[in-house]
Amino acid sequence: MRAATLAALVALLPLAAQAQSRSQSRAAADLVYLRDIEPGIRQDMRYAGPDNFTGHPLPGYRTAECLLRRPVALALKRVQADLARDDLSLKVYDCYRPERAVRAMAAWSQDGHDGAPTRRFFPHVDKRNLFALGYIARYSRHSSGTAVDLTLIEKGAPPAPPFDPAARYGPCDGPVAARAPDNSLDMGTGYDCLDPKGHTAASGLTLEQHQRRMMLVTAMRKRGFSNYRLEWWHFTFDGTAGARHFDVPIGPIAR
């Protein structure tokens, strides 16, 4: 019986390889590198490194590149052109997210550890409640290449100082100077601040911080994006619900 079972499994291996190959081909056909569409948009791909709420690079991020579906990338190109009139630019933090990374986020949120090393991302929320509160999900539009996390920076802004994994940075809702380094405009919190202050319409913001959030929401809405109310940085492209999700890793641009 064991031999027969083993033989059946071996027979299925070529079929599994073919299915994976077809999935990779579909992803290659549907997803494009944002850098090829609009190289002027800055990229700071947080899940490809340790500067994120898990403290580690996430599975599937083999390189720090933004991939999106072509219509989404082209819409961002139009947003970028609109913002250039005000000497502003977009900066993306996350784009296409392999499904394996989504699963890793969900598993991290329920692993039983208190998350102390990265508590700066959720200073006032219990880690085990992040899933129930809607900050982490088992299903993400990022995996279809139709969602993007981003912010505003001044056009021509110098690169941010390098992230130091050994440093003790302040909470994401604290003063800019105490947070992890970033060269973006101050939106009232850092990226991925899993906290009520990270909600788009949060109270306790300065007038300037509120106006910047509204500027981002308005610029994105004009070109077909909707904001997620719990995260001022998260937008999905309208009319793409039900788009195929992928689990292929993010690799470097082949030239």
pLDDT digits (tens, 9 = 90+) for 174-227: 999 999 999 999 999 999 999 999 999 999 999 999 999 999 999 999 999 999
Q: Quick check: is 255 in a domain?
A: no
Does residue 58 register a pLDDT over 70? yes
Question: Domain containing 56 — which CATH number?
Answer: 3.30.1380.10
Q: Quickly tell me which residue has 């090829």 as its tokens.
A: 36
Q: Quick check: is 125 in a domain?
A: yes
Please report the pLDDT score of residue 29 as a whole number. Answer: 75
For residue 62, the enclosing domain spans: 2-237
Does residue 20 register a pLDDT over 90? no
Structural domains in the chain (count): 1
Q: Quick check: is 250 in a domain?
A: no
Q: What pTM was estimated for this model as a whole?
A: 0.90
The values of phi and psi at residue 90, to 5°, are -85, 155
Q: Report the alpha-carbon distance of residue 175 to residue 159 in Å, rounded.
A: 19
Please report the pLDDT score of residue 3 as a whole number. Answer: 54
Q: Quick check: is 242 in a domain?
A: no
CA atoms 99, 193, 231, 162: torsion sign: negative
Q: Quick check: is 247 in a domain?
A: no
Q: Quick check: is 35 in a domain?
A: yes
The torsion region of residue 116 among left (phi > 0), alpha (psi -120 to 50) and beta comes to: alpha
Q: Quick check: is 230 in a domain?
A: yes
DSSP per position, the chain:
-HHHHHHHHHHHHHHHHHHHHHHHHHHHHHEEEHHHH-TTSEE--GGGSS-STTSSPPTTBSS---EEEHHHHHHHHHHHHHHHTTTEEEEEEE----HHHHHHHHHHHTSS---GGGGGGSTTS-GGGTTTTTSS-SS-GGGGT-EEEEEEEETTPPPPPPP-TTS-PPPTTS-GGGSSP--S---SS-TT--SGGGSTT-SS--HHHHHHHHHHHHHHHHTTEEEETTEEEEEEETT-TTPPP--PPB-PPP-
For the stretch 86-137, pLDDT in tens is: 999 999 999 999 999 999 999 999 999 988 999 999 999 999 999 899 999 8
Does residue 12 register a pLDDT over 70? no
Q: Quick check: is 251 in a domain?
A: no
